[in-house]
Amino acid sequence: MEPDSLPTEVILTHPRQFLGKVCLDWMPQPGNYLELKGKTYAVLERHHHYQYKIGGYSLHKISLYVQSAKSPAEKSLIDGRWVVGDASCRFNAKSELLRCAVNPEGPCKGCRFYELLSK
């Protein structure tokens, strides 16, 4: 194991299924996408597991709870994080998981509900 890699368990939420263990060199956040064994998953939850060693606790492993997903083709960068869809639309949810209420499946391009966000 590399010094900066995180031992990570990947668990499918529904139906509950252990997908495997991987070592990641980045800290996955809910809303991020993860490629594993040729499939794409959306990260829903992240749990930290600590282990006591002399001198205190240290991060031992991470569990990721995921669901099957398609990596979104449309993304916008807002305040340093990626959200699904066109963030210039009034109806965009500004979320990593949900595009919007009126057209959640997308695409944003050509959507009849598109309204430019007023500042």
In tens, the pLDDT along 56-85 reads 998 899 999 999 987 777 877 777 777 888
Q: Encode pLDDT of 81-118 as tens digits.
A: 778 888 888 898 888 778 888 888 878 888 898 888 87
Q: Which residue has the higher pLDDT, 2 or 4?
A: 4
* Phi and psi at residue 29, to the nearest 5°: -110, 155
Q: Which pair of structure tokens corresponds to residue 100? A: 């919007």
CA angle 20, 73, 35 (to 5 degrees): 10
CA distance 12 to 57: 28
Dihedral sign computed on CA atoms, order 104, 109, 115, 118? positive
Quote the percentage of the chain above a pLDDT of 70. 94
What pLDDT does residue 6 have? 81
- With a threshold of 0.85, does the pTM exceed it? no
Q: Encode pLDDT of 23-40 as tens digits.
A: 988 888 888 888 899 898
pLDDT at residue 55 greater than cutoff 50: yes
Q: Which pair of structure tokens corresponds to residue 115? A: 């309204």
